[in-house]
């Protein structure tokens, strides 16, 4: 939008006896400017010129110094000087200083009022700008520039009635004929959702320029009317008006939201044909359009082809962040490292958003150490940074490290000035869920309640999962029952909670409530959870019934996970032959999940032939996996086939890619976390621990013998 204050000043003065501000030595000090700005002969015009220099450089310190000099020289009473000072403070983002100056001005013009109203609008204080306009009406009549600023405020606020009122005022006082005001009015109607009124105004304009058309197009995009925006763009070209930068950015946003390859190709071709590829802003938007919609390779290709051909174009911080996100989503670690090197070379790394994106990229590619090093070296960290590194450790199976960082946020509060938000809590609850850390989970629950985050539906769903995995099904039920609002994930979470804890009957009851709900309908995840709950509860008939009507009643085709649940359902109760027949009749080729379920069940019931069949198929599907080899080795060991066990163990030890990190467990005692492996003797009380374990094993063996004797006698 035009600077109305600058416009008025420039119309009053012609600086023809001075050098333009561009010729002023930008490397000179502010002190030099202050000293040379006030020759006695040309004091008045030099003040205005120096203020213009501070505005162009966005230098509020220089501007304040000039203000002090103006007060000393007694020029503050001049309205043109005061208006220039107002403009300087507004353009430098110092709205409070502008307001103080405005309140102490002995005489104000329409320019004075317009300048401060514009300042409030630029600082997103829309209500204050409207209130100031109402004060102005009690003092003087606004001009067309004042109304244009107010239309901008209406567009931000989306107040349709206020737009119509100001429109009527402009007609009443004969200001509507101004072309600039008409464009502002079109923009206000379009941004407020009154696109019909904007179209009618556009049709009535004597001369429709690119600003007129762009206002309607951007308004359509703003209100989600993407096809209409495209149609208006074509009409603009038929009208003989070429798009400007803002028009292209609006169309790139529209094409991005339409998200079809045809639209991407069309707008890309237009950018190339009209030579917009030499515009850095348009180029960045084009790269982002491809990157955020999953066409990562195309976005990367544009980045490589156009940023290194000597055009002097450089990607923006947001573009680089999107490219790094693409590297994270696609697992392109090599390219991510190359971009990292480019960022270092071009000096991007002081930007916190770039550091955050790099942490996320390394986290998604399983390079937690690199992410951790970046985190430590970052000079400025915001809550997004902390969330990124905490989620990094959770995703890379280091939940203890994630929870340690949660404690460090409060320690570094004074340095980074951050506090945990709901994303921090979600990641921390996930860490507690992964380790079934009930005590830590309850502490986080208390913090969530204290900070008022408990009403967030995602937090509540995470609490249900945490309590379920910690074995406190009653607390998970309490969270679910106390929820004022539930989404489908809430239902899925409580069904999964019952399944995890072996309560298939309650899971079926909740599933029945969901089916009768008018708000939500089961999705594919729901059926995975309920089938798993039936498997854990031994509810075979119920599980098959659900599986059979899943596609018939809800149109959900069974995925590999659903088939694996049925194999698990049959396998857990020893019906291995039925499970094998079910696999043979599957309409799709069984995947690793299906054969893995059969292998696990075969090991459970010592069915070696079935285990060998499943392992043979897994060897084809997952030749580099050690999981099925360990399971098959355990099956052989259970029936005393030690020669086969030795062969598999030798294979695992001899091949580097099959080496398996030793499994470990952890237990929390008195607030301290203890990690241990099988046969571990590192704990100082290990002898006592093993004595207790041996005693428990003896008790269990005695109990098993007693149950067998009772069964024989009965």
- Condensed to tens digits (0 to 9), the pLDDT of residues 505-535 reads 999 999 999 988 888 999 999 999 999 999 9
Please report whether residue 39 resides in a domain: yes
Give pLDDT tens digits for 370-386.
Answer: 999 999 998 888 999 99
Q: Examine the domain organization and report whether 15 and 120 are in the same domain.
A: yes
Give pLDDT tens digits for 233-250.
Answer: 999 989 889 999 999 999
Q: Looking at the predicted structure, is the pLDDT value of residue 4 above 70?
A: no
Give pLDDT tens digits for 410-426.
Answer: 776 556 678 899 999 99
Out of 81, 110, 140, a domain closes at 140
Helix (H) or strand (E) holding 704: helix 686-713
* Tokens matching residue 624: 């580099």
pLDDT of residue 3: 40
Q: Examine the domain organization and report whether 165 and 103 are in the same domain.
A: no
pLDDT of residue 646: 85
pLDDT of residue 511: 94
Average pLDDT value for residue range 196-215: 88
Q: Looking at the predicted structure, is the pLDDT value of residue 259 above 50?
A: yes
Reported as a pLDDT band with limits 50, 70 and 90, residue 30 is: very low
Please report whether residue 124 resides in a domain: yes
Closest CA to 145 of 186, 178, 187, 188: 178
pLDDT of residue 414: 52
pLDDT of residue 644: 85
Q: Looking at the predicted structure, is the pLDDT value of residue 43 above 90?
A: no
Q: Examine the domain organization and report whether 179 and 130 are in the same domain.
A: no
Q: Examine the domain organization and report whether 41 and 115 are in the same domain.
A: yes
Please report whether residue 335 resides in a domain: no
Please report whether residue 57 resides in a domain: yes
Instruction: Give the SS3 label for residue 677.
Output: strand
Helix (H) or strand (E) holding 668: strand 664-669
Reported as a pLDDT band with limits 50, 70 and 90, residue 678 is: low
pLDDT of residue 6: 36
Q: Examine the domain organization and report whether 151 and 128 are in the same domain.
A: no
Q: Examine the domain organization and report whether 193 and 130 are in the same domain.
A: no
* Distance (Å, whole) CA 151 – CA 162: 9
* Tokens matching residue 61: 């310190």
Contacts of 609 (CB under 8 A, 6+ apart): none
pLDDT of residue 541: 92
A 10 A CB-CB count for 174 gives: 9
pLDDT of residue 587: 92
Please report whether residue 310 resides in a domain: no
Q: Examine the domain organization and report whether 179 and 199 are in the same domain.
A: yes
Q: Examine the domain organization and report whether 163 and 121 are in the same domain.
A: no
* Percent of the residues in the chain that have a pLDDT greater than 70, as a whole number: 87
Average pLDDT value for residue range 142-153: 89
The residue range of the domain holding 197 is: 143-242
Out of 226, 242, 258, a domain closes at 242
Reported as a pLDDT band with limits 50, 70 and 90, residue 33 is: very low
Reported as a pLDDT band with limits 50, 70 and 90, residue 367 is: very high
Please give the tally of structural domains in the chain: 2
Residue 675 β-bridge partners = 666
* Distance (Å, whole) CA 7 – CA 80: 12
* Distance (Å, whole) CA 619 – CA 611: 12
Of residues 156 and 609, which shows the higher confidence score? 609
pLDDT of residue 2: 40
């Amino acid at each position: 939008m035009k600077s109305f204050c600058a416009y008025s000043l420039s119309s009053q003065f012609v600086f023809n006896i001075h050098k333009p501000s561009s010729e002023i030595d930008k490397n000179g000090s502010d002190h030099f400017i202050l000293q040379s700005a006030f020759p006695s002969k040309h004091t008045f015009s030099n003040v205005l010129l120096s203020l213009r220099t501070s505005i162009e450089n966005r230098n509020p310190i220089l501007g304040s110094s000039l203000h002090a000099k103006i007060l000393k020289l007694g020029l503050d009473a001049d309205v043109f000087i005061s208006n220039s000072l107002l403009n300087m403070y507004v353009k430098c983002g110092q709205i409070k200083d502008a307001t103080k100056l405005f309140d102490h001005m002995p005489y104000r013009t329409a320019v004075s009022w317009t300048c401060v109203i514009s300042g409030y609008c630029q600082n997103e204080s829309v209500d204050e700008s409207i209130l100031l306009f109402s004060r102005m009406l009690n003092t003087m009549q606004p001009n067309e520039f004042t109304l244009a600023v107010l239309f901008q405020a209406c567009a931000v606020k989306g107040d349709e009635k206020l737009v119509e009122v100001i429109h009527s005022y402009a007609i009443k006082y004969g200001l509507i004929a101004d072309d600039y005001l008409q464009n502002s009015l079109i923009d206000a109607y379009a941004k407020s959702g009154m696109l019909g009124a904007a179209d009618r105004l556009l049709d009535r304009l004597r001369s429709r320029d690119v600003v007129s058309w762009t206002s309607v197009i951007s308004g359509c995009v703003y209100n989600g009317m993407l096809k209409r925006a495209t149609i208006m763009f074509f009409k603009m070209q038929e009208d003989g008006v070429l798009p400007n930068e803002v028009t292209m950015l609006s169309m790139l946003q529209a094409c991005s939201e339409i998200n079809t390859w045809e639209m991407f190709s069309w707008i890309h071709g237009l950018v190339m044909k009209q030579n917009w590829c030499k515009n850095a802003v348009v180029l960045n938007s084009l790269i982002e359009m491809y990157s955020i919609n999953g066409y990562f390779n195309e976005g990367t290709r544009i980045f490589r082809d156009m940023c290194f051909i000597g055009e002097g174009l450089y990607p923006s911080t947001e573009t680089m962040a999107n490219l790094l996100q693409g590297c994270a989503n696609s697992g392109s670690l090599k390219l991510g490292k190359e971009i990292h090197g480019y960022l270092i070379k071009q000096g991007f790394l002081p930007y916190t958003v770039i550091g955050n994106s790099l942490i996320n990229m390394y986290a998604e590619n399983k390079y937690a150490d690199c992410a951790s090093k970046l985190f430590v070296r970052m000079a400025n960290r915001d809550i997004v940074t902390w969330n990124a590194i905490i989620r990094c450790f959770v995703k890379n199976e280091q939940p203890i490290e994630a929870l340690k960082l949660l404690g460090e946020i409060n320690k570094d509060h004074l340095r980074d000035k951050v506090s945990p938000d709901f994303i921090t809590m979600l990641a921390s609850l996930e860490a507690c869920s992964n380790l079934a850390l009930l005590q830590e989970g309850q502490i986080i629950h208390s913090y969530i309640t204290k900070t008022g985050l408990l009403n967030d539906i995602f937090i509540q769903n995470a609490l249900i999962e945490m309590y379920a995995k910690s074995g406190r099904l009653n607390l998970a039920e309490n969270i679910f029952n106390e929820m004022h609002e539930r989404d489908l994930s809430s239902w899925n979470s409580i069904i999964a909670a019952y399944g995890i804890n072996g309560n298939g009957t309650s899971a079926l009851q909740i599933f029945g409530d969901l089916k009768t709900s008018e708000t939500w309908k089961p999705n594919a995840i729901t059926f995975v959870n309920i089938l798993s709950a039936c498997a854990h509860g031994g509810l075979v008939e119920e599980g098959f019934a659900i599986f059979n009507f899943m596609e018939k009643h809800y149109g959900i085709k069974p995925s590999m996970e659903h088939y694996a649940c049925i194999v698990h359902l049959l396998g857990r109760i020893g019906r291995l032959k039925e499970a094998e027949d079910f696999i043979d009749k599957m309409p799709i080729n069984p995947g690793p999940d299906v054969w893995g379920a059969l292998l696990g069940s075969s090991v459970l019931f010592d069915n070696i032939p079935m285990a060998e069949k499943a392992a043979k198929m897994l060897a084809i599907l997952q030749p580099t996996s050690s999981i099925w080899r360990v399971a098959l080795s355990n099956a052989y060991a259970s029936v005393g086939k030690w020669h086969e066990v030795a062969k598999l163990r030798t294979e695992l030890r001899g091949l580097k890619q099959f080496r398996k990190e030793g499994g470990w467990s952890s237990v929390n005692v008195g607030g301290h976390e203890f990690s241990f492996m099988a046969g571990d003797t590192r704990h100082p009380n290990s002898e006592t621990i093993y004595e207790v374990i041996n005693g428990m094993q003896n008790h269990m063996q005695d109990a098993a013998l007693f149950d067998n004797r009772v069964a024989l006698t009965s």
